[in-house]
Amino acid sequence: MSDVKLLTVSEEEGEQRLDRWFKRRFPQLTQGAVEKLCRTGQVRVDSGRAKASDHVVPGQ
């Protein structure tokens, strides 16, 4: 079983695309890896499946 992590976008990070937010938080991930995580449903925003191009805002 894999670990589940709950992450929140901070005020300092502001509004930005989900893939760019991931790259800043996890620089070791490639763009392709971020897109695959989203495509396979392993990334969720507000309990829904997320696309790499979705925008996130502080508090999400």
Whole-number average pLDDT of the chain: 93
pLDDT, tens digit (0-9, with 9 covering 90-100), for 22-39: 999 999 999 999 999 999
- What are the residue ranges spanned by the domains of the chain? 16-54
Rounded to an integer, the average pLDDT of 18-23 is 95
Concatenate the DSSP letters of all residues of 1-60 into one string.
----------TTT-SEEHHHHHHHH-TTS-HHHHHHHHHTT--EETTEE--TT-EE-TT-
Q: What percent of the chain has pLDDT over 90?
A: 85
